[in-house]
Structure 1
């Protein structure tokens, strides 16, 4: 019986020793850093917040979310040394009227004030043959909202399809350069520059870029976004 109790005592001491060791914090190079929720939030606050507010070209129609324009733009900017988050606020099928109706709601739902808003709407207006004058009016109203909130803006423009006719094309194509001049905001004139008309870079609908096309678009737009972020400091 004495031996049995001695065995129990030894086992108890071993268990207590192991428990005590497990309670000690890990040391050495193998110790994993503990990141608190507050530290994660602080890290997020250190990053620039870019909101990509547009239609299906921003939303990532026909591709995976990690192949969308906002995702690729963020990847490129981070590779260039920018601490940035590009938030996807694109909605497929969105017109300028729809964008105007949801802009304030979208901005109010953000965790904080964005450092830059990319505004890319109007393509669906054109495809539906909507009056360019109304499209311009809606875009101006959105720019007024962003200006009132003191938010830096960058426009990405669109060009009318040739089958819309010369008169329509002339009126529609003038919208973005006029807005950029009137509001003093940077403009990337044609979102699909370098990919439209090339089957290698476009989806079968000939309207939306595929993953390869999106990579090209993001590479082309990134320098202007980078300059806009720097100017917004």
Structure 2
């Protein structure tokens, strides 16, 4: 009788030991899988823009966004550039597209390059500003850092509209404390040799300069969380 009890106790202890070992093994596997998933998940930088960022009239990969990916790799950054720019897009188009893009790519940084087509279409500045603000708000809700790219328009739109359009980006950046490229075409706008035949879209030679205008304002965001 006592022998049977001893053997039963031994088997119970063995089963408990095996169960404990299995639980430890499963916990270890789960940890390895979670770690592997964290390392394999890409870190994205989302560019939401119009034709100025969509490589309009350029060979694929030669636009400033393609050059940005190369610069990030040279800078040892793990960020992957997701270029969601569409030629002709406006701030309302970007605002409508952004929720799905944020859900799909979960970017660490959102670069907004929109507004020029709003001005070309004569849309109210208040509408453009509200749309840009909504995009900034959504990015912040999802813990993404924001870089706003500012534009200017020709003076033939009238001095008041021209001034208020440029100020719109500055006001948004200041109010939201987000990074700002003051003028995307700085050092480019007056040089027609840097534009395509339409005199609107920068050519391939201008793309490195556009990146140089963006980079000093983007780089401080790369090392911050």
Shorter-chain TM-score category?
0.7 to 0.9
Shift of 1:81: 2.7
Determine the C-alpha separation between the residues in 2 that align with 1:108 and 1:47: 14
Shift of 1:47: 5.4
Gapped regions of structure 1 (runs ≥ 5): 1-37
Asked whether the equivalents of residues 184 and 213 of structure 2 are also in contact (C-alpha less than 8 Å), the reply is no
Tell me the alpha carbon deviations over residues 28-77 of structure 1, each in whole angstroms, 9 at most, x when there is no partner: xxxxxxxxxx9xx9698475421111111111111012112211111122
> Kindly tell me: are residues 165 and 44 of structure 1, through their superposed partners in 2, closer, same or farther at Cα, counting changes over 3 Å?
farther
One of 48, 59, 62 as aligned partner of 1:64: 59
Shift of 1:148: 1.5
* 1:158 equivalent in structure 2: 151
Determine the C-alpha separation between the residues in 1 that align with 2:149 and 2:143: 19
Normalising by structure 1, report the TM-score: 0.76
Shift of 1:109: 2.3
Shift of 1:119: 0.7
Determine the C-alpha separation between the residues in 1 that align with 2:55 and 2:39: 24
* 2:211 equivalent in structure 1: 218
Determine the C-alpha separation between the residues in 1 that align with 2:169 and 2:130: 12
User: Is 1:97 matched with 2:92?
Assistant: yes
Shift of 1:199: 2.3
- Tell me the matched-pair count: 191
Stretches (4+) displaced over 2 A: 41-48, 80-84
CA RMSD of aligned residues (A): 2.0
User: Is 1:120 matched with 2:120?
Assistant: no
> Kindly tell me: are residues 145 and 165 of structure 1, through their superposed partners in 2, closer, same or farther at Cα, counting changes over 3 Å?
same
> Kindly tell me: are residues 91 and 219 of structure 1, through their superposed partners in 2, closer, same or farther at Cα, counting changes over 3 Å?
same
Asked whether the equivalents of residues 59 and 88 of structure 1 are also in contact (C-alpha less than 8 Å), the reply is yes
* 2:160 equivalent in structure 1: 167
Normalising by structure 2, report the TM-score: 0.79
User: Is 1:109 matched with 2:104?
Assistant: yes
Determine the C-alpha separation between the residues in 2 that align with 1:81 and 1:57: 26
Determine the C-alpha separation between the residues in 1 that align with 2:117 and 2:104: 25
Determine the C-alpha separation between the residues in 1 that align with 2:121 and 2:100: 25
Asked whether the equivalents of residues 108 and 143 of structure 2 are also in contact (C-alpha less than 8 Å), the reply is no
Asked whether the equivalents of residues 160 and 169 of structure 1 are also in contact (C-alpha less than 8 Å), the reply is yes
User: Is 1:182 matched with 2:175?
Assistant: yes
* 1:85 equivalent in structure 2: 80
* 1:136 equivalent in structure 2: 129
Instruction: State the secondary structure of the residue aligned to 2:89.
Output: coil
Tell me the alpha carbon deviations over residues 102-160 of structure 1, each in whole angstroms, 9 at most, x when there is no partner: 111222222xx211110111010111121111111111111111121121111001112
* 1:74 equivalent in structure 2: 69
Tell me the alpha carbon deviations over residues 159-189 of structure 1, each in whole angstroms, 9 at most, x when there is no partner: 1221111111122111111100111101001
Determine the C-alpha separation between the residues in 2 that align with 1:47 and 1:206: 37
> Kindly tell me: are residues 200 and 42 of structure 1, through their superposed partners in 2, closer, same or farther at Cα, counting changes over 3 Å?
farther
